[in-house]
Structure 1
Amino acid sequence: MTEPPPLRKNTKFQLLWIGSATSEFGSQLTRLAMPLLVLAVTGSPLSAGLVAGARTAATVLAQMPAGVWVDRWDRRRTLVTGQLVQAGAAAALAALVAAGHPLLWMFLLLAVVDGVCTAFIGPARSIAVRGVVPPEQLRAAYAQEEARTHAAWLAGPPAGGLLFGLGHAVPFVVDAVTVLVSAVCTVAARVPRRPAIAAVPAGDPAPVRPSMGRELGAAFRWFWQQRGLRDVSGAVMMLNLLGGAAILPLIVLVGERGGNSVVTGAVLAASGIGGLVGALISNRTGALLPPGKLLLAIVTIFGGAVALETLPFGKWWPMIPFVCISLSTPAINVVMNAVVTRLVPEEMLGRMDAVLTVVGRSLAPLGPILGGFLAATLGGAGALLCIGGGLLLTAAVAASSRSLRGFTGERAEVVL
């Protein structure tokens, strides 16, 4: 059997990766620019949290139908269409900012549009990677994907802070351009359009597709049979809630200590420093522990590091614990992507991506709102102490689950 070419020579994957890396950089520009803009317009951390929460809520609510439709529709067209609409939303926001003082409802509306697009782009792109990468190279591909994300986290926030200082609309113009570049790369990569469907013998009627409800029901039943995966997803749900809540208090804390937008961007860029290094070594660190125990270790590190951000060592200090957080997380992302790819049938990938995303992120829309509320009530340091304590409590509760501690991602764990 002929060996597949090295991943670096896989032109389709590399085009897809370049486009996604460009788009991710644009997204990370606005990761800092959006809350800074809302804070500048409204003066309210809670309003900034509402906007971020609205985007996340739109993604979560649209995830289920998006997963079903991605399994049914032309996946390449779905991916490109989502990217074009997302670029239009970023351009519209830039135009509103340049024209005057946008209102809060405008931020909320465009955040919802962006979130819905993300719900379609996520599973379509995940399946596209599987469509252009041989199974034996998927783990290496996911490691490269993880490195892309954290490289964008490293470069995006400080660039976003710098561009925001040049003009409040500038980061959103750049974001729109990066998404357009990603759409062009998707077209050039010629990713598979549709899931593989068995041929229908001549003369036989075409199979009737079950309803959306039945297809989602089948995906949920499959998920429910994976006992360890259920418990892992519950822990991930709390990690996403509390991890998402920690960003706004961190921004507030740096501001309270005298940091401007450039300093805040540099502190947030610490996630890219640790994450990029973590992604490069994720294959090795991911092999140190089975997925369940690896997750427990990461939640514990996350909670302790969030609490350490509050130590009174100046505006730059939070960067150091933030590096520790981001250094640990890539391994579990790569490992879980490989586990899901190995376990889930190809024709169910879109739906299962939706199910796992919805379960894992079901509380995520509340994260920015919770963080904004705690920051407005307790200040940056008080909010981070509460969130860090919540993460440590999550780790302690999750450790009591035998199925989570023993989760390895093997098919033998299915409960019939």
Structure 2
Amino acid sequence: MADTARQGTGHDRRADLGRPFRWLWGSAAASNAGDGITRTLLPLLVVAHHPEPAAVAGLTTVNMLPWLLFALPAGVLVDRVDRRRIVLGSNLVRAAALLGAMPVLAAHRPLPLLYALAFVLGIAETLADTAAPAMLPRLVDERQLERANGRLSAAQILLNEMVGPPVAGLLAGLAAAAALATGGMLYALAALLLVGLSPLARARHRSASARAHGGVLRDIRQGLRFVLGHHTLRLTLAASALYGLVFSATFSMLVLLSARALGLSGTGYGLLLAAGSLGAVAGSWLAPRAADRLSTVRLARWSLVASGAAYVALGLGRQPVLAALALAANGVFMMGWNIPVMSLRQRLTPEDLQGRVMSVSRLCSWGSMPIGATLGGLLAEALSVPAVFEVCGTVLAVGALLLLAPLREDPSPHADPPANSDLLDKG
């Protein structure tokens, strides 16, 4: 019955997403292009003058640290302030940071300045990436969420992972100042495009006085209590954390698998990454269409299981073509998980908790990645590099079945309320 109902919404899902979404998409496209350039450029600047492994690793740590420090407070801010202004302001901060650092980094590359720049960009990214998805339920119809998330995901993959890095490499080869200026102008463009989006009014069901007197810690507890008390959100977030562990464990070993097991050069490794990105782009197109025919939970569950099988195939295969096909398939299944689950969380979360639920989601999935990378290295040392993919893929497939089996096939926004939801207004 649920599947039939979802099939009937296919025409509605193909309707135009509207002008507000187009403004948001344009801004997201520009900022993702800026992300692709800066994430590639900063390590290149570090390596050029500070080639020590600890210095390079430190840059990644500093850039990701804001997600651990500020993810939950960022969710509170997103639920208190106009989300459009947060994304706009975050892009302006990133533009100012890159353009302001340009005169110094064009001639000298002091490591403290590079670290400081990475940290500031990380804080701005934490705020923007929490606020932007929380805006979406206000901009598009609930039935359009899969399509909207799919289009945003496609822009992210194309511009952040496929276009941005080679452009950054080309610009850095010409002049570091040119790369910094390009990244800064892209962030400024992202901010400018959001000016065309009308301000988003605050949620009506929480008064201004309630917002003023509620402390940050109290609001964080409310968000955590809602997520932990909601059966569907709790289990999908646990699955996201598992996926973060598996993804980081395997991705950290992919370069070694490429060189040792597949015998590929650096160019071959780049082509492997491109195959995975192309699969993800295809998945961002296929997932919303699959959601027209399958329940959200069923699509997400079996996509996660299939992603685990793709990791196992990657570990077992010894032919580069088969490895590329496995990575492409994994990209499709990754979007088959990410897009439906993101849309499900947006549907199940009340308007005034969107930011906090999004921040908990990012903390679970991204916060597990450093742990996964460490476990991947330890597992490779104990067994072998291909075994990392075989073990992690099996764990992901079995874990997805166990974690998501208890979920209903088509949870509604009013189904499965938190057992302790009465504490949300009393805590």
Alignment equivalent of 1:393, drawn from 392, 395, 403: 395
Q: Distance in 1 between matches of 2:178 and 2:268?
A: 18
Q: Tell me the SS of whatever aligns to 2:368.
A: coil
- Give the match for residue 132 of structure 1: 139
Corresponding residue for residue 226 of structure 1: 230
- Indicate which of 353, 357, 365 corresponds to 1:360: 365
Q: How many residues align?
A: 404
- Give the conservation status (yes or no) of the 8 Å contact 1:16–1:189: yes
Match of 2:120 among 102, 108, 113: 113
Q: Deviations over 1:191-244 (max 9, x none)?
A: 4153335679xxxx8885322222222222221222232122112112113313
* Deviation, structure 1 residue 164: 4.3
Distance 1:251 1:32, change over 3 A: farther
- Determine the C-alpha separation between the residues in 2 that align with 1:46 and 1:292: 42
TM-aligned CA distance change 1:198 to 1:312, over 3 Å: closer
2:148 aligns with 141
CA RMSD of aligned residues (A): 3.7
TM-score by length of 1: 0.81
Aligned in 2, Cα 1:305/1:135: closer, same or farther, shift over 3 Å?
closer
Structure 2, unaligned runs of 5 or more:
1-11, 420-427
Match of 2:93 in 1: 85
The alpha carbon displacement at 1:151 in A equals 2.4
Alignment CA distance shift 1:330-1:398 (3 Å): closer
Match of 1:330 among 325, 329, 335: 335
1:20 shift after superposition: 0.7
Matched, 1:412 2:415: yes
Q: Is contact 1:142–1:334 with CA below 8 Å preserved after alignment?
A: yes
Q: How does 1:51-70 map to 2 (within 5 A)?
A: 51-70=59-78
The counterpart of 1:340, out of the listed 340, 345, 351, is 345
In structure 1, runs of 5+ residues without a counterpart are none
Which residue does the alignment assign to 1:185?
Answer: 193
Secondary structure of the residue that 1:412 maps to in structure 2? coil
Q: Which moved more, 1:386-395 or 1:55-64?
A: 386-395
With over 3 angstroms needed to count, the CA separation of the structure-2 counterparts of 1:325 and 1:19, relative to structure 1, is: same
Pairwise CA distance, 1:108? 3.5
| 1:184 Cα deviation after fit | 0.4
Is the CA contact (8 Å cut-off) linking 1:83 and 1:180 kept in structure 2?
A: yes
The equivalent position to 1:71 in structure 2, one of 47, 57, 79, is 79
Taking a change above 3 Å as real, the CA distance of residues 164 and 59 of structure 1, as seen in their structure-2 partners, is: same
Once the two structures are TM-superposed, the CA of residue 70 in structure 1 deviates from its matched residue by 1.6
**Are the structure 2 counterparts of residues 154 and 22 from structure 1 closer, same or farther at C-alpha, using a change threshold of 3 Å?**
same
Counterparts in 2 of 1:409 and 1:25: CA distance versus 1, 3 Å: farther
**Change in CA separation of 1:233 and 1:58 when aligned onto 2, cut-off 3 Å:** same
1:235 to 235, 239, 243: 239
Q: Secondary structure at the match of 2:195?
A: helix
3-state SS in 2 of match to 1:194: coil
Q: 1:115 to 1:67 in 2, by over 3 A?
A: same
Matches within 5 A, 1:5-404: 8=16, 10-39=18-47, 41-43=49-51, 47-91=55-99, 97-103=105-111, 105-152=112-159, 153-167=161-175, 170-196=178-204, 209-251=213-255, 259-260=265-266, 265-286=270-291, 290-306=295-311, 308-309=313-314, 311-313=317-319, 319-367=324-372, 382-383=384-385, 385-401=387-403, 403-404=405-406
Q: 1:267 deviation in Å?
A: 3.8
Identity of aligned residues (%): 23
8 Å contact 2:312–2:393 — kept in the other structure?
A: no
- For the structure 1 residues 297 and 403, does the alpha-carbon distance in structure 2 shift closer, same or farther, using more than 3 Å as the test? closer
